[in-house]
Chain A
Amino acid sequence: MTFLNSLISGLSLGSVYAIIALGYTMVYGISKMLNFAHGDVIMVGGYVSFCLTMYVGMNGWIALLIAMVVCTLLGIIIERLAYRPLRGTGSLAVLITAIGVSYFLQNAALLIWGANPRVFTSLFNGMDTMHAAGGQLTITPESLFTIIANIVIMIVLTLFVSRTKAGKAMRAVSEDNGAAQLMGINVNQSISLTFAIGSGLAAVAGVLMCSAYPVLMPTTGAMPGIKAFTAAVFGGIGSIPGAMIGGLILGIIEIFSRAYISTELSDAIVFACLIIVLLVKPTGLLGKKVSEKV
């Protein structure tokens, strides 16, 4: 029974990682930059939703929608103000800027919401935990909905990228920025759209994560952000199915090593697995090998 319980926890945690990892992987795919502020957008989503439900008394689902809108706008603004002016200046400048934006968001949250942690009210508070096998197996509504949300998001996003015009434009920009521009694709618009989608998903991830693990602090997004980034690299950065597989595997490894090996070493084991995968397959599980253009 420990096995099944751990599997469910692992899938649920992995789904959160996967949804966050999508933001990293899509942004990297299209603009070849690591958006380290992505984890902090999750935190903003959590706080917005918390404030709307606690202080305004709004329904949790409506609060989630508003949080998605706020985070989408935040993503677009960050891209417009911090990253776009630096496009074409070399990856190091953008990387440092991303770290700066991350600190900016954390400290702004500290200023607005203070250092005291809050406890997030779960989106699924009215629903009962399901029990099976004589109470041995427990499935919380949080894990169930997180796993379902992850699957739905993956299907919708894959369809969007492969079937719609905007999605195809995104793929074209990711493949060859200059050529896409010559073909009449608005590169700036495509990149903005990518940031918008990634940040909107970050809000979903934030609310789902805080529903399951309810502590909300200005640094709440930092650790899941790093883990999700790892998941994106694990699965092959730039690849959407890679983010999903990477996230799920990472979540399962983490929970299983806690349950069967050691709670102290779980993080070490997770990152050791990452190193092994990268040694064997440097592009990640589903990553494509791109030959350097000269």
Chain B
Amino acid sequence: MKNKKWTKFFVVALSCMMVFAMTACGGGSDSGSSEEGDAAAVLHLGGVGPLTGPAALYGTAVKNGAQLAVDEINAANPDGLQLAWDMQDDEHDAEKSVNAYNKLVDDGMQILVGTVTTAPCTAVAAEAYEDRMFALTPSASGPAVTEGNDNVFQLCFSDPNQGIASADYIKENFGDKTVGVIYNNADNYSSGIYDKFKSEYEAGGKKLAAEEAFSDDANADFTAQLNSMKNAGVDLIFLPIYYTPASNIMTQANKMGYEPTFFGVDGMDGILDLEGFDTSLAEGVMLLTPFTPYSEDEEVQKFVKAYEDAYGETPIQFAADAYDCVYAVYDAFQKTGLDASASYDEICEAMIGVFTGGDFKASGLTADEMQWEASGEVNKTPKVCVIEDGKYVEQ
């Protein structure tokens, strides 16, 4: 009897040791080319986002954009600090996202570049806050992501900021237009922007002529909403929604013979690449976006070319956000003066210090001189683009 107990204990202990050894190996093997003792020179970046499922477009763009930046940094300075990049799939699901995050932590991740979408990111941010893991998300724009988490930062505009910036731009440039809004009331992103847009737009005594909602179903009948806009005399419709329902709205408005100006936010990015969509319907659409692949900026052109060569498609904004994230994290890490062998909680405190220190500015494809608030929100100037001849033209 006693013997048996000891055997059991021995087996358990042995398997514990094996698991431990294996995870240690897993962490080490990511470092790739470097030899055993030199593992200290590799900083491990982890990412989580939807690589499959309906939001796969965004996760894949982040994965590819970050990979490009990592390859560039590693190639530019082969003897200096090297980066390792590992991205896990979460299918845009909060539970899977947390699991993927935990796996990355076990594998030795030191900084999280993610996660990609808002709802999963909110769940992961809470974990990262508990763990003291520094996180910079390229694209999760909801306010809940950074709220109460001093170690989570956003590289994209937060939803409220997009609403405020859009309202200010419209008031300034289209003061004489009658403005209406169609938004998705089942989506945090859309209703978050709408709330701020409304309060900012109406702050100066102006009124929105019509506000209509729809719920999630991108393929719905929008004639009721459009008729209400038309009857209210609206000639500028603000669309804080993704490009899929937006394309549907534009097609139906065209059939009705109703031609207002459409004004979108960063979710509108992608409408020109929608297969089968008559892009002439999007002519004159304005949108607030931090990145367009058609920009004449030299850096952007270089990035677009490298991306097209590597992945065979034109990068969307998410790819540029991820690219900038990697550079921002790399630059900030250099400023901390830490060694790549530092533990992630040590790195976290030092990175928070740099990000909120006041003199750290990151430049990239999506903006020059980005700075961060202690709340985690980014300060950068939005670019307004208008679609002309099937291309984005910066205003």
Contact = CB atoms under 8 A, between A and B. Distances in A.
Q: Do A and B come from one complex?
A: yes
Given A13-B221, A215-B248, A264-B185, A5 B215 contact: no
A217 B218 contact: yes
B220 A119 contact: no
Contacts of A115: 53-57
B224 interface: yes
A248 interface: no
A254 B215 CA distance: 13
Contacts of A117: 218, 244, 247, 274
Contact of B227 (A54, A215, A259): A259
19 contacts: A2-B227, A5-B223, A6-B223, A6-B224, A110-B54, A115-B54, A118-B276, A119-B251, A129-B257, A140-B256, A213-B219, A214-B248, A215-B244, A215-B248, A223-B217, A223-B219, A263-B225, A263-B228, A266-B224
A219 interface: yes
A199 interface: no
Interface string B34-61: 0000000000000000000111110000
Given A5-B227, A6-B224, A213-B219, A120 B248 contact: no
A214 B254 CA distance: 12
Contacts of A219: 54
Given A115-B57, A215-B245, A50 B276 contact: yes
A276 to B, nearest CB: 21
B301 interface: no
B174 interface: no
Contact of A135 (B54, B223, B257): B257
A9 B224 contact: yes
B56 A129 contact: no
A260 to B, nearest CB: 9
A35 interface: no
Interface in A227-276: 254-255, 258-259, 263-264, 266-267
A215 B215 contact: no
Interface residues of B, number: 36
Nearest to A5: B227
Contact of B257 (A54, A120, A138, A217): A138
B224 A263 contact: yes
Interface in B191-244: 212-215, 217-225, 227-228, 231, 244
B277 interface: yes
B223 A119 contact: no
A223 B215 CA distance: 11
Instruction: Give me the 7 closest cross-chain CB pairs, A-B, nearest first.
Output: A258-B224, A119-B276, A119-B277, A9-B223, A259-B224, A263-B212, A264-B213
